[in-house]
Amino acid sequence: MSFVGKKFPDLNVNAIDSMGDTYVLNVLKEATSKNKKVLLFWYPKDFTFVCPTELHAFQAALKSFEDRNTIVIGASCDTAEVHFAWLNTSKDEGGIEGVTYPLIADANRNLSSLLEILDAEVEEIDEENGHVVLGGDNVSYRATYLIDEDGLIFHEGVNHMPVGRNVNEYLRLIDAYAHVQKNGEVCPANWEEGKEAMKADRSGVALYLSNN
């Protein structure tokens, strides 16, 4: 099910900050109460291979997101304790020391289940004993959500486990959406900040280029 154009779920989840403090975080309220966009990215597991490269890449671009009035939040199904251990492991040893944005610890899988991004399938149901056997690791795919200041999701994407993300593409998407918000124009393929956008006539069919 696609969530694009819908409000992000209003759900409290556990999170941890870079100091190791745990707290309750609500992604929807982060956007609406602070009047900011949110980039929420899910990754499969702490202490793996591709995942730390992504977390460091988002950290390296953190100021660029902040300059665009955007909060970055990472998320996985690991516990806050495992997140804390990873945050205290050096980059040379496969850790994420130096990451400063919050990490959601969706260990109960409430939010990832609601978003339907878990790598899990029912393989067997034992109705007599009430047992369900799941296939897969029951961890999240590399899912990414961009949420606007009203809590609406304007982008979602899901990568398979081995495929890492391109952080710059999310900056481009945020720029394009902000341009739409400000100018009421539409952004054609490969649009980047400073390039020509397009306007529609009243029928929504005829388009022409604009340098706004």
The residue whose two tokens read 């006539």 is 201
Catalytic residues: 51
- pLDDT (tens, 9 = 90+) of the chain, 212 residues, equals 799 999 999 999 999 999 999 999 999 999 999 999 999 999 999 999 999 999 999 999 999 999 999 999 999 999 999 999 999 999 999 999 999 999 999 999 999 999 999 998 655 565 666 665 555 689 999 999 999 999 999 999 999 999 999 999 999 999 999 999 998 888 888 888 888 888 876 555 445 555 54
User: Is it true that domain 12-165 has CATH number 3.40.30.10?
Assistant: yes
The size of the chain, in residues, is: 212
Q: What's the pTM?
A: 0.89
Contacts by residues 50-57 (CB-CB < 8 Å, ≥ 24 positions apart) = 50/161, 50/162, 50/164, 51/76, 52/86, 52/91, 52/94, 52/95, 52/96, 53/164, 54/142, 54/164, 54/165, 54/167, 55/96, 55/99, 56/91, 56/96, 56/98, 56/99, 57/165, 57/167
Tell me the CA distances in angstroms from 206 to 199, 200, 209, one per residue in order: 8, 6, 11
Domain parsing of the chain, residue ranges: 12-165
